[in-house]
Structure 1
Amino acid sequence: MIEAATRVDAPEVIVDTAETYAGRLRHGWDGDPPHAFLGRVDGVAVGVLTIDTPTYDNRDVAWFEVEVHPDYRGRGIGSELMEFGFKQAAERGRTSLGFTQWDLPKADAFAKKHGFEAKSVEVNRRQDLANVDWPTVERLYAEAVEASKEYELLRLSDDLPEEMLEAMTALTASINDAPTDDLDIEDEVFTPERLRAFEVAQKGRDQRIHRVIARHKNTGALAGHSTVMVEHGRPHIAWQADTAVDRAHRGHRLGVLVKIGMLRWLREVAPAVELVDTWNAESNAHMIGVNDQIGYRVIARAIDYQRPADAK
């Protein structure tokens, strides 16, 4: 059902398999799984409502996704699911409601019908490794290496060593500097426990974590990182998670260094990977500039909407 809906709305987007979707429902991104509700008509699955209610931060927010099978659209099923979601959010004490939907006129009309306002745009980009312009990538990497002589790269797979956990927790929080546009949300709160929960969740989703980390040679400070997950069931697919640089270490091309460092390492550690997918806020000009330089192309756009729970 979800696959049928996505094929109509965003044909190039990678759709979950039954196994990866089950992993998402069991584990979430980092041990904070969503709630999912199935809509049926005469016993046939026709729609899905997914509600994320964060527990690490933004505990006032409930975030919705609504999918309706193309054959059953126009019958009010999406609206019923949304109204059910409003009730669920109220029962969980959530006062701010978010909704993500593909950037399509009908989806926009649906969001506005239910009182939502567009607050941010997210863009799905993809890098096809068979078409990478390696001479350009290697030139950019050499320039980044020249600009970051005070730093070295670490390559890590799977769980972080215990002695790096506190420093990586602080570095991970650098993602809060990424733009959130007009969304009314708090910064994410990261703890060592949350990073460990992320590792457990990715294993539960049958994905392997690979990290490239920039470390300052003299002080040992962790300055920047890029993280990618590779699916075991579909080893040609990799998912780009955070790429971020600590404020104190910016200006040394570290974002480019770790991003391309990861790309180069994937050829060794995960040679079956054929494509890497990433998401960025459309306003994140710096990271998008890096992605464009190394060959990413736009796959789809999604709109993040928001409204107060008590809006009329």
Structure 2
Amino acid sequence: MDIVRVTPDDTATVDQLVGLSEAIVKVDCPWEHPFTRTRLTGMLRYGWDGEPPEQYAGVLEGHVIGSARLWTSDYDNLDLAWFDLGVHPDHRRRGHGTALLAAVTERARELGRSSTGIGGWESAATRGFAEGAGFTFGQEEVARRLDVDDVPDGFAELVDRARRDHAGAYEFLTMSGPVPQELLAQMTDLQAAINDAPWDDIDMEPEVFPIERLLGYEQAQAASGRRLHRVIARHAATGELVGHTIVAVSGERPDYGDQQDTTVVREHRGHRLGIVLKGLMLDYLRRVEPQCRSFDTWNAASNDHMIAVNEAMGFHVIGRSLAYQRKG
């Protein structure tokens, strides 16, 4: 197997990587939505928030049978690299995954990254591969899905009561597309509140979110074919932005959305803002994206508070993933 770096302009190889994603999802996680060309090309150009990953393909006899993606940031966690690996189900247990891991590990060392992470859906294969390569388990994450038709009948009343009895000091802004220019400076601090989400035994420094990173995120999501929708909580007396939730809806697959960040600034917790934000988002999406019938969200298994909010909405578990880390 040859390992080659792939650019977003290499459309033939990108298309093979899309096909590889479809094959992997079909076997490993049939509930997941595989990559499309638009989504993968956008990721390779812009990453998640303006820092694209390095993409490598394992090629055997002219066919892409493996993928390795290397993520780093120059904003924070300058010692860390994270890997996404995948091998076609028909070519597993032949050393291809190990070869791909060795290649991106060497590249991470060239970049000065002394800590590396890897993850996969919960399985004996994921555990065996990671532990066999010297990685240590750090966190379990749980993927949940909300089918709009399954939202409990009493959820709207729960949101109304929380807003009336606990969140009276706040006003809520709904918006689609880029954040207005006048809110960007405040959004940097609000976005950083996500650092309070648990990382369990994964060694991570707090992330930082300067304005250019927020703009990079919006550009990256648009380039990946996603429409962004937000609900923001603002403290009425001070004008401070204190909480938000974001959902991205795919233009190519508009029947589903991805729940992205939901967070509340520490000093304003205890006012049921989380459930109000998500409830208002659900109402907003019913108006602006009525064709969107399901939403996916991810939480650390230890994030009891957000899990309780999601379960009250009707989210159900679709899969669990395991994250591992290795030093040196």
- Please tell me the TM-score bracket, short chain as reference: over 0.9
Matched residue, 2:137 = 118
Matched residue, 2:15 = none
Q: 1-side partners of 2:161 and 2:304: how far apart?
A: 20
Q: 1-side partners of 2:66 and 2:21: how far apart?
A: 8
CA contact (8 A) 1:238 1:277 kept: yes
- Confirm or deny that 1:211 pairs with 2:230: yes
- Confirm or deny that 1:249 pairs with 2:262: no
Matched residue, 1:143 = 161
CA contact (8 A) 2:141 2:321 kept: yes
Aligned residue pairs total 308
**Residue type of the alignment partner of 2:97:** G
1:259-302 deviation digits (Å, cap 9, x = unpaired): 11101110001111111111111111100110011010111111
- Confirm or deny that 1:162 pairs with 2:175: no
Quick one: which of 31, 36, 41 aligns to 1:12?
31
Q: 2-side partners of 1:130 and 1:151: how far apart?
A: 29
TM-score by length of 2: 0.92
**Residue type of the alignment partner of 2:261:** D
Q: Which structure 2 residues correspond to residues 1-312 of structure 1 after superposition, within 5 A?
A: 1-133=20-152, 135-146=153-164, 147-309=166-328
- How many Å apart are 1:95 and its aligned residue? 0.4
Q: 2-side partners of 1:229 and 1:47: how far apart?
A: 28
Identity %: 45
TM-score by length of 1: 0.97
SS in 2 for 1:31: coil
1:234-259 deviation digits (Å, cap 9, x = unpaired): 11121111100011111110011101
CA contact (8 A) 2:39 2:223 kept: no
- How many Å apart are 1:130 and its aligned residue? 2.1
- How many Å apart are 1:308 and its aligned residue? 0.7
CA contact (8 A) 2:255 2:294 kept: yes
Runs of 5+ unmatched residues, structure 1: none
SS in 1 for 2:42: helix
- How many Å apart are 1:83 and its aligned residue? 0.7
**Residue type of the alignment partner of 1:291:** N
Q: 2-side partners of 1:156 and 1:180: how far apart?
A: 30
Q: 1-side partners of 2:70 and 2:311: how far apart?
A: 32
